Structure 1
Amino acid sequence: MGRFIWLLGSVAISFLEAAEKDNSFETVSIWTVILIVALVATGILFFASRQIAKLRKFHENMLAKQLEMEEKQNQILTNMSENIHDAAQQALKKSQAIIENNISSSLEKEQLMGDIEDQLLGVTNDLIYFLRLKSKKIEINNKPFNFNNVLNEVSGLLGTKHAGKEIELIFDVNNNVPRHLIGDSLYIGRILTNLFEYMFSNLTDEELKLEVSMFNNYEDMIDLQFRLRDTGPGIPAGESESLFVPYYNEEEGTYVRLGLFIAKSLAELMGGSLHVESLAGKGTTFILDLPMKLVDPENRRRYRLPDKSLIEKKVLIVDSNFNSALAIKKMFAYFRHDVRVIKKEDFEYAMPKMNDYDIIILKESLFSGNVLRHLQEIKEDNNEVKIIALNNLLNIKESVYHDGLIDAHLFKPVNQERVFELIISLYDMGVSKVLLEDHIGEEEGEHLPKAKVYKSDIVEAKGITQESFAEFAGKQVLIVDDNLINQKVLTNLFSNSGIKISLACDGQQAVEIVKSGKVKFDFILMDINMPVMDGFSATQVIRAERKFDAVPIVAFTALILESEKQKMFSCGVNAFLAKPLNVGKLYQAMSMFISNKAIEEAKDEEKKEREAVFEGLNIEKGITHTNSNEALYIELIREFVEAYGESDKTFEKLVHEKRYEQIKMLCVDMRGLSGTIGAAGLHDLVNEVYKYILFNKQDLLPGYVEKYAKELSKVKRAIEAYLFTKDMME
């Protein structure tokens, strides 16, 4: 059609030009020209109308897809309270069956209950993220951070949750990726964790690989690309578009793809993108692109070993997974090491001569028979040779070799930071030695006692409730964490205890608060992976002044390796708590340092507000739906008011405009949420509205506008009264 219009126009122009050459219109009838022009105009109109129709159809299809996606997103909240309750009941039934059959040890029973708590906590956290995204409350905070700290925390979370799985987890980080970047490290970690969780839940093979590359943009801007891939059967054709649309699987009683929806939403908020590529039989790849800034564009060398003697070592790597070995090779080669990789099968078939190597890295399963004898001989001839046992973070096992043969352990997945610290520690250069030294003389703080150090794992105290923390009434506690949800959960946990709380969002803020001297802290809970200044550095800076020696600093982090824990203790922490939050262990840690033995053991019955039932809101039932975690419940109802506190106005407008599909979506949201928080009246009302829409009785909806407003107002007043009561008890 376009070519036809162009042809008609060309003909018309040629006629006019011919007429001008003859200085007369006699060569061409004026009516002929008019006819041609009319045909051109008609063609243009016809073509334009066709294009408009196509665009209208395109937009209609897009709108339909958008509405379908929104409905699926909102349906995840339908009957949320019942779903969480059912999940808990099913897990409890399983544990009860194990107990009755006497086929489980007490340790296994505790592990099972811990898995149940983690599952429910994960659902609740995802729900809070979903609400914050819906109400547009999430803000991106671009600050300097250590990229490898993010990778370490992500791998630590996976190692804790998926311990024992026989999956090869590989980090293949390009050598041009900087150590320090400017971006939102909290949400980057959340995106990666959610992607890994999806891949773990759907993995059908034994390898999961994260490739990280950097592409220069302009000036100090770069693009960081993450490619997370498996080698499984792939995603069926046509399903990739809906992969980021969450829904509730009623048959299995699980929420599906909620984490992917959150990951994609966060990526787009950061100005990036997240999509998936998949081919049948060739695996699935998630591709995450994020724009970031360089902290120091002029300094492209991110890691510098402290001594020239540490470079140009000869390294041998033998691993059961060749791809993993190649990724590790790349990281050692960064430090100008001469690295050779041998396949495990080739090594077992014909063990090579290893006398000429400075560093020998072997999969620990290879340490047997002739290998052990050969390594012993090498050590006897040259004690400077370093032998490293290579293991998987998901399968951390106690080494059986205690005769000094193994110099260090290296756990996969590996990144530059871990290799850098390993090389330094191998040659006694010190990884992160404490900045303090014992001084002799009459200096300030010389006679101040030091807080005790507990390097063993903290044992969980049983039967701990929110009221138990009143044991520490009057104590000054500093919470250092860049995660706002973690801050709120901890703050709410301490809300009735009488504990005086201060907050810091990064290590730099923590240092400034402590050094200001305005508050004398009794206890510091220190996250490790934070922007601006991480927990390692913040602890070192605080410990640099002797007057703070008596202040206990307890690390609260997802890092779980012994080398990471040792680094924390070297920096000056006094104890270690692993994420996610375990209330019993937190109470035990605080008891170890700041127990207030003078407080009466009897608790005031009036403080048990969780038994109160406010009009329109059953608090006790709502708390039960969050696995009896009142702190999480408080956070949930705050987010509910923020996201849907004005939904009565939205409902009225939608009814007036007869936008029934949108009303249906709102009902899906409110059915799940109202049931979850214990608002039974509101739950029943929106359920009625939802049924009227399903049965095409939309003419009854105007009668529910005032009812909806009254019921929502009742719930909001109940929430306000409950939160006011909690505040008064502080």
Structure 2
Amino acid sequence: DGIEATRRIKQELPLENIPAVFIVTAFGREDVHRHAEQVNADGLLHKPISHSSLYDAMVVQFGAGEEGVKRLSSNVDEHSKQALAGARVLLVEDNEINQQIAIELLGIVGIEVVVANNGREAVDLLLESEPMPPFDGVLMDLQMPVMDGFEATRLILADERCQALPIIGLTAHALVEERERCLAVGMVEQVTKPIDPDTLYHALERHLITRSGGSDAPSPAVSKGAMEVPQEQILPEIYGIDVAEGIERVMGNRALYLKLLESFVSGQSDARERIAAALAEGDLEVAERTAHTMKGVAGSIGANTLFELATTLEEQIREQATDEKVAVSLGRFGDELGAVIAALNIHLPGDVAPMADESGSESLTELLPELKRLRGLLGEFDGDALDLFSTLRPQLEGLVTTTELKQLSTMLGDYSFDEAAEQLDGMAASLGIDLTE
């Protein structure tokens, strides 16, 4: 085993040839720590290993020091920005939280993102449009409703116009069988969720068709304000969630992490009930997919116990375990989910609604011309609608519900402009105005 191998390496190799040895374990037991010390292991790493914990261990062992850490991190970021800035990627993903994370990570390195909510939307976007939209690559979730990533990939690559288009699979499975299935349908690589930023960047660097921005492209600017939240909104320890790990997964963007937690509460609170209903109806596919989605989302926010319970539940549903086993796993999963949601409801700032500022009191009469302009841009499928909505959003807070604003923001981010126009019309109607006049 690893303890004995470490002992022999340390005792039997010539002194000048002894490498640094780190024990990797899935357990946090005291006896593992004691044995590691007894055989003079250079460090102990706990699974699942994050990029940060591995990197920190290497730096401590090999003496780069704090300045070295900053310098090396900066070099990695700049290399990715130079290699990827200006590229255009189609993100095919059905889950809102995973969409937000991917869009943020891609935006940091200057990649333009277009979102399709399932495989069918991706196929229609690529194959039914004339001319075909130009993309440098595709990030394809595997398990989605309507059409999964495997079928979508097969259809896309069957079109001669797309045969050189690199498609990278996104999955919460780390199984060899799934990787082989990805390669069999023509995907070039598989990236496992929860997404590690460096793993994603390196995969894109290896496979994107073009480097549209090149080394001369300006580095993407990340707003300091977007990365910060008010001091009172910095989260304390939360039951069931490794906040530090979750923030690391979004490259330190605390504001985005808060949004992900809010989306988790609003979108996943009833996951147990949805799985139970699917099982009761005998729809194992929906039950498995719901557990699979929860696994990926839980991992992304750092809810590690929930991640493990969702993993077990998904595996049992897929393998058609006995009803008794599935019921026990579903109960444990539901209990943990309920506890995490309850903790988030306590710790999330306010009622998870953004605070309206003084500009939110601006009269509706003064807003009306800009709202009509936004409606017109949506009707023309003009991308300027996103920038205009970002400008108007603070003024709309307090006039319409937070849920309505979030829904409109999601539709715009997905480039679902027809749906966004309908949403805006509904919001306007609730305010007693007509934007089509």
Do both share a fold (TM > 0.5)? no
Q: TM-score, normalised by structure 1?
A: 0.25
Give 1 or 2: higher helix fraction.
Answer: 2
Higher strand share: 1
CA radius of gyration, larger in = 1
